[in-house]
Amino acid sequence: MRKSIFIIGFWCFYCALSSAQVFDPNAVVGIWKVVGGEVNFPPTPDKSLEKQIAGLKEQFLHSDFVFQGDNNFSFNIKLDDFKVQKAHWKYNPNSYRYEIQLWEDKDKNNSFLMVLEVKKVGDKTYFLLPTDEELPKEFSIKLEVVKMLE
């Protein structure tokens, strides 16, 4: 019985090791075009606000993220209030997230403009924008992205 448990345990350990992938934080370098995804907002009874939210969703779904090798970052979206230019990106290995901040704040660990999680599901890549405690839990952004050739 002990031998069977040992063999099962060994195979589980071996499979976990063999399927583990080394993560390269620089794998995001390039231009990422949003090709789909979900942008969810809490329901609102205000019809004019609902129309604005629909327009905002549409703009997120036609935007792109630019991660440069020198850690420059930009988020290109038609809405000026959401556009990010001349920013800095860095990878936080503790949270497994990319932190975007103003270039002058690059040596600080606060004042983030945006935080991104990168998830790979099959052959698709998603950028998730985690929300903070101030936003309702119904608010979420999950963008399917493709890396453009440079």
Q: What is the CATH code of the structural domain delimited by 26-148?
A: 2.40.128
Dump pLDDT digits (tens) for 4-54.
443 443 343 333 333 334 468 889 999 999 999 988 888 878 888 888 888
Block residue for tokens 């080394």:
22
Instruction: Tell me what the mean pLDDT of segment 111-124 comes to.
Output: 91
Q: Spell out where the chain has E strands.
A: 30-40, 64-67, 72-76, 84-92, 97-102, 112-121, 124-129, 140-148
For residue 67, the tally of other CB atoms under 10 A from its CB is 21
Q: What is the mean pLDDT of the chain?
A: 81
Task: Tell me the backbone φ, ψ of residue 110, rounded to 5 degrees.
Answer: -150, -170
Count of alpha carbons within 13 angstroms of residue 47, beta-carbon side: 0
Structure confidence at residue 90 (pLDDT): 94
For residue 36, give Cα distances in angstroms to 39, 59, 90, 139.
Answer: 10, 11, 25, 17
pTM: 0.77
Residue 121 CA to residue 102 CA, distance in Å, equals 30
